[in-house]
Chain A
């Protein structure tokens, strides 16, 4: 309905079962909080082909309605079809605010929707508050070093995307009764889909499964050069752990891609995670923040990695890591 808040969910491809992705509940959790604070209705939006089961799952949450946008042209995902479908729905229903998860897929099509709607889009949001009856969204620009309060300055249906993990899926309250599922009719017959989807695949070589490691020592950009990695490798060996890396190290081919921790690599939760020379961009944090004990060694006292760590040492890693390796060997030998 006009003036509502929409929580746009995300599902897997039809080939993969079209199941609701966990981030969808994070968006619903944020939507519930905002709807309550602003006195607005919350409607979940499920978009895809053959996604009625996902709509039924969503309807169990405390939402005023679920809008089901289901069309064969929406599978496989293409930015042209998704943009056209939701644009039609927005034009028909005029929601005030459209919330998305800040997934790779949303980054591929939501900016296009914002442009077609000529609407403001606050992306990669980590929190919000309400001031004077309007939402203020908080983002973390400058690699997470600073917070920025952001507001919309235009009128219309605004967009905001939420960083993974910023809201808790478990906070998405269940409803007393299943919400009504409204079939949102869209006509995609005239939509030209320019993307030809060919093949979806996983690059499997002899991939190391870091998720089984009890101890991981991860090295980041701060190492500076490939030939210095031995310093960190020695610590990993002393701790009996696996050597891992943040993305820039793998991009530079200092370590193979299968050692990468983060949103484009592996997700791990070892008992002990030691981050060496890793500043802690969100793309890395999502892959390791659930580790048991986290140690960070970094020269920048303001590095975001310290915010998720249990112990931190600020200083030159080339002094600290060898000292730590020696001390660990001593402790283990005793």
Chain B
């Protein structure tokens, strides 16, 4: 069984973000180096893919659209156990919306011909929650979102979908299919030292739009249908009363307010 897993490199949750000149994107130099990681739900998707490849036999191919720094995320995925990777690394891919990114990913997936595509339900940076489903639509494949369990059957996949308010649903789809994975589906493995060493030798194919049969204006900023015109720190509307002081002082001040103002103690 051949499984493609789409991953994205995103700023770490605690990363300090600096808005770039022009005001519409994050300054890329600020999110280089240590302050990046594989998007959380993509990590769960990768783990799910590795487990399926182990139980069913087969391999995981990682796909990642991103700048040169994303190679670090790709190497980590290879160290965890992916067999090889495809890196969509070209300036033309930058600043796409979900549709432009999905167009490129779908073309790369088509050239790989996997049985199953897994990705996270949404990215921790842009958070469109669209890309996986649009990839499926572009490929003409069925899709299911917010997946919490995967069972492979003969030519089909049976999955547990999370609904709202603690409800779930079992559904069955024919393969090939695209699944977007909910965080918490499994326990993510750590890369072993052997895995890290082995990853250095694994193949990473670098592809640009032309390699995918796409023109530069179909991808990235030129191919997008949604544009972010401005990025800014939200104005605080309500906002908390911030309590200062060292820990004992702040604790005393808070307890006093909870007793006298809020009257909840």
| Chain A interface residues toward B at CB < 8 A | 79-80, 102-105, 107-112, 114-116, 118-124, 136, 139-143, 145-154, 194-203, 215, 221, 239, 247-248, 250-253, 263-267, 271-272, 279, 292-296, 300-302, 306-316, 319-320, 322-324, 326-328, 331-332
Please give me the residue from chain A that is nearest to B10 by CB atom. A142
Given contacts A112-B134, A122-B226, A145-B17, whether A197 and B243 have CB atoms under 8 Å apart is no
Task: Decide yes or no: A141 and B167 within 8 Å by CB, A79-B143, A108-B145, A331-B255 being known contacts.
Answer: no
Q: A104-B145, A293-B264, A311-B241 are in contact. Are A327 and B97 (CB under 8 A)?
A: no
CA distance A330 to B105 in the complex (A): 59
Q: Which candidate, B48-56, B64-72, B158-166, is the interface stretch facing chain A?
A: B158-166
* Residues of the A chain whose Cβ atoms lie less than 8 Å from the Cβ of B164: 103-104, 263-264
B179–chain A nearest beta-carbon distance, Å: 11
A13 CA / B226 CA spacing, docked (Å):
32
Query: Which of B124, B131, B133, B231 counts the most A-chain CB atoms under 10 A from its CB?
Result: B133
Selecting from B80-88, B109-117, B168-176, B202-210, the interface stretch reads B168-176
Name the distance in Å between A69's Cβ and chain B's nearest Cβ: 20
A-B contact pairs, 19 of them (CB 8 A): A104-B164, A107-B130, A112-B134, A120-B226, A123-B129, A124-B127, A141-B127, A145-B233, A146-B231, A146-B232, A153-B225, A199-B170, A201-B167, A252-B187, A293-B262, A307-B237, A311-B258, A312-B242, A315-B250
CB distance B262 to A120 under 8 Å? no
Query: Chain A contact residues: over half helix, strand or loop, or mixed?
Result: mixed
- A328 x B255 contact (CB < 8 A): yes
B183 at the interface (CB under 8 A from A): yes
Q: What are the 3 A-B residue pairs with the smallest beta carbon separation, nearest first?
A: A251-B184, A120-B225, A312-B240
Other A-B pairs, 9, CB within 8 Å; known A79-B143, A251-B184: A80-B142, A105-B163, A142-B17, A199-B169, A202-B167, A264-B164, A271-B264, A311-B241, A327-B248
Does B144 lie within 8 Å of A136, measured CB to CB?
Answer: no
C-alpha spacing A296/B236, complex, angstroms: 15
B238 CB to closest chain A CB (Å) equals 6
Q: Does B33 contact A (CB under 8 A)?
A: no
CA distance A143 to B14 in the complex (A): 10
| B interface, CB within 8 angstroms of A | 11, 13-14, 17, 19, 26, 40, 97-99, 102, 121, 124-134, 136-138, 142-146, 158, 161-174, 182-184, 187, 224-234, 236-243, 247-248, 250-252, 254-255, 257-259, 262, 264-265
Bound-state Cα–Cα, A115 to B167, Å: 28
- Specify the chain A residue showing the minimal Cβ separation from B243: A313
Residues from chain A with a CB closer than 8 A to the CB of B97 are 120
Inter-chain contact B264/A123, CB cutoff 8 Å: no
Residue in contact with A265 in the complex, picked from B127, B166, B169, CB distance below 8 Å: B166
Given A114-B130, A148-B231, A251-B184; A323-B136 close (CB under 8 Å):
no
Given A145-B17, A199-B170, A311-B254: A124 touches B234 (CB 8 Å cut-off): no
Across-interface contacts of B166 in A (CB, < 8 A): 202-203, 264-266
Instruction: Please state if A295 and B234 are interface contacts (CB–CB under 8 Å).
Output: no
Q: B166: nearest residue on chain A (CB-CB)?
A: A202
Contact between chains at B162 and A112 (CB < 8 Å): no
Nearest Cβ on chain B to A326's Cβ, whole angstroms: 7
Q: How far is the CA of A109 from the CA of B161 in the complex (A)?
A: 14
Q: A271-B264, A272-B258, A295-B258 are known contacts. Are A112 and B133 too (CB-CB below 8 A)?
A: yes
